[in-house]
Amino acid sequence: MSATFKLWLWRLAAWTLAFAIQWTIASRRGPISAEFLEHYTGDWTLRLLLVTLG
């Protein structure tokens, strides 16, 4: 893999993590936000798995 591709992949991962953390801090919904975060990251994991296998 080229260095440019790795850089963009890292940026995408960092952006997704930053969005999830920001949403959790901004919502302050207690356990419900943790549940949402689990489902949100799980959904993205499945999407990336399907793209990888596709």
Question: Which pTM does this prediction carry?
Answer: 0.48
Average pLDDT of adjacent 10-residue blocks, the chain of 54 residues = 86 86 72 72 83 84
- Give the per-residue pLDDT at 45: 84
Pairwise CA distance, residues 49 & 46, whole Å: 5
- Give the per-residue pLDDT at 23: 75
28, containing H or E segment: none
- Give the per-residue pLDDT at 31: 66
Distances (CA, A) of 28 to 23, 31, 32, 39, 47: 9, 9, 9, 17, 27
